DNA sequence: CGTTAAATTGAGATCTTTCAACTACGGTGG
DNA sequence: CCACCGTAGTTGAAAGATCTCAATTTAACG
């Protein structure tokens, strides 16, 4: 059963400093000139999200997109029967709430998995007359394409095959990858919601992987885990 | 194991008659004036696809999009281990090969399920200087959004829960819906590939539905089936 | 150090797959 | 016109995987 957010907090860090943003070149704002950016600058905000905090909820009027700068966001969809399913994981560089740019309400609920930093860019900023629409359009197309690809990847890799293969593929997933040989730790319940298996099964598979030495806890950092790439791959792709 | 296409044929019916096309208003060409259309007209072709024929294959250079006019198309993705997974079903009005508009190779293989008619619109036509780029851009955004939504729907509804609920949700899916109370017949193997279950399980569930009177064959038309909407819904959403 | 959430584990019930056999159907060629 | 053949669909039985429910352990945090 879905649990309600408890200590959830989204705090306004302040105005975003897009001009000096180190990852701007990797976002949709890459194509926007400093001059244009100055026009919309004030409406763009830097947010800090505590674990379990909500960026937005499914059904809300979509008035902004969110660029993930740090951490992980899950897009959760609730089913008619009350259970939930995680549809996508968003990592730094990804964008949440794209549907708001085509006038849609948010399709899923966006929840921070870890402590997360995001940039909130209101639709009004995107549609500002000084913004380079044609270039932005190209950028958005690419983002859409990426979303579809990611969703298709979820269907083919994370919803297919036995539980151990799914878990292995999830651990190999780029969103969880931090550096070579390490991945982000992720709760068993979330794991289950992504893979369409129960928490217990996820736990059993992970426990088994640990026993077999395929993954091992990193004592120094609780948030990451070390793994044996080739063994994981073998399990993931029989 | 994936079977190779046998009698597969895609035949060129001739140049498309976009000007008189009855469904043009529902496609991306809605926003294109007759004048602009006349410029690209010759490159747009009307194709007739036999069952099992290929529109394009995964990995091919994407040089056209395909508007489905009649019939059903499946987008199939092959997994490293050789098995296949159907990622999406496309019905009349949908578009296959959108990724070609952003310079990508085709991500999946597009195969006709039944006898199908499509319109092939080359990228060159879309990018023709006389075409209304800004409007087309809007249209494409909506199409992308629809693709993502469809993919997410597949994740949450067709890859989640017990086999009977999945089958029920598939039968209720808009792509299979022909008219109130009827849906398109679909092979058990394809069913399995969409739902992530085996052919046998799909067959058993369908046989069970038939015995319980939830669905019944339509004697007059082998291609469609009648169903009890409320019973199906009950099974689909416990 | 106590409290609470998360993770783990066990055992039995349930569901799905696997493998194999069998049936129904539609076309083909004699 | 009919026997033959291949494909798709169906069914059974046993093995295997996953889920459920419940108990327990571990970790996290004030």
The pTM (predicted TM-score) of the whole model is 0.93
Regions of chain A with pLDDT less than 50: 1-7
Supply the pLDDT for residue A1. 37
- Please give, chain by chain, protein residues whose CB is below 7 Å from any atom of strand C: A 3, 187-189, 199-200, 203-204, 206-207, 210; B 162-164, 196-198, 200-201, 204, 222
Is-contact B114 B121, C-beta < 8 A? no
- Closest CA in chain B for residue A103: B142
> Could you give the residue ranges of the DSSP H alpha helices within A21-132?
34-40, 123-126
Strand partners, B88: B75
CA dist A26 → A93, A108, B16, B113 (Å): 7, 24, 41, 40
User: Sign of dihedral through CA atoms B174, B177, B180, B186?
Assistant: negative
Q: Which residues of B138-161 are buried (b: 16+ CB within 10 A; e: fewer)?
A: ebbbebbbbbbebbbbbbbbbbbb
Closest of A174, A198, A176, A199 to residue A186, by C-alpha: A176
Could you tell me if A127 lies within 8 Å of chain B, comparing CB atoms?
A: no
Query: Which helix (DSSP H) or strand (DSSP E) does residue A216 occupy?
Result: strand A215-217
Give the C-alpha separation, A64 to A100, whole Å: 6
Could you tell me if B127 lies within 8 Å of chain A, comparing CB atoms?
A: no
Nucleotide nearest to A201 (CA to C1'): D18
Residue B18 CA, nucleotide D27 C1', distance (Å): 66
Supply the pLDDT for residue A6. 37
Give the C-alpha separation, B168 to B161, whole Å: 11
Q: In terms of residues, how long is chain B?
A: 238
User: Could you give the 3-state DSSP secondary structure of residue B66?
Assistant: strand
Residue A90 CA, nucleotide D18 C1', distance (Å): 28
Contact A141 B144 (CB under 8 A): yes
Mean pLDDT per segment of 10 residues, for chain B of length 238 residues? 48 75 83 88 90 94 95 92 90 96 96 92 95 92 97 97 97 90 93 97 97 88 87 93
Supply the pLDDT for residue B8. 58
Supply the pLDDT for residue A8. 61
Neighbours of B45 (CB within 10 A): 16
Supply the pLDDT for residue B7. 39
Supply the pLDDT for residue B185. 92
Closest of B129, B143, B145 to residue B30, by C-alpha: B143
Supply the pLDDT for residue A127. 94
Contacts of A134 (CB under 8 A, 6+ apart): B133, B134, B137
Strands, E, within chain B: which ranges?
Answer: 10-15, 45-49, 54-56, 64-70, 73-78, 84-90, 95-96, 109-112, 116-122, 177-179, 182-184, 215-217, 224-227
Closest of A15, A30, A36, A17 to residue A140, by C-alpha: A30
Supply the pLDDT for residue B6. 37
Supply the pLDDT for residue B30. 87
Taking chain A, what is the end-to-end CA distance rounded to the nearest angstrom?
A: 32
Is-contact B96 B118, C-beta < 8 A? yes
CA dist B127 → A151, B28, B132 (Å): 27, 13, 9
Supply the pLDDT for residue B12. 78
Residue A73 CA, nucleotide D7 C1', distance (Å): 47
Give the C-alpha separation, A48 to A11, whole Å: 5
Contacts of A40 (CB under 8 A, 6+ apart): A124, A125, A128, A130, A131
* Cβ of B189 less than 7 A from strand D: yes
Is-contact A167 A231, C-beta < 8 A? no
Give the C-alpha separation, A94 to A74, whole Å: 11
Supply the pLDDT for residue B3. 38
């Amino acid at each position: 059963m879905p649990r309600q957010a408890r200590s959830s907090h989204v705090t306004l860090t302040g105005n975003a400093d897009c001009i000096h943003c180190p990852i701007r070149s990797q976002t949709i704002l890459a194509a926007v000139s400093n001059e244009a950016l100055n026009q919309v600058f004030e409406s763009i905000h830097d947010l800090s999200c505590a674990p379990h905090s909500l960026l937005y909820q499914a059904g809300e009027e979509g008035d902004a997109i969110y660029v993930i700068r740090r951490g992980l966001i899950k897009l959760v969809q609730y089913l008619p029967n009350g259970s939930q399913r995680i549809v996508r994981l968003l990592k730094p560089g990804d964008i949440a709430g794209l549907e708001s740019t085509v006038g849609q309400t948010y399709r899923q609920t966006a929840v921070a998995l870890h402590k997360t930093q995001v940039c909130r860019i209101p639709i009004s900023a995107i549609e500002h007359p000084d913004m380079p629409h044609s270039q932005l359009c190209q950028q958005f197309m690419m983002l859409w394409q990426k979303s579809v690809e990611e969703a298709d990847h979820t269907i083919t890799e994370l919803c297919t095959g036995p539980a151990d293969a799914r878990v292995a593929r999830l651990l190999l997933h780029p969103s969880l990858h931090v550096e070579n040989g390490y991945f982000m730790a992720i709760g068993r319940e979330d794991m289950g919601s992504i893979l369409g298996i129960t928490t217990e099964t996820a736990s059993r598979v992970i426990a088994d992987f640990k026993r077999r030495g395929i993954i091992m806890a990193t004592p120094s950092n609780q948030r990451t885990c070390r793994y044996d790439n080739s063994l994981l791959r073998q399990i993931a792709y029989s």
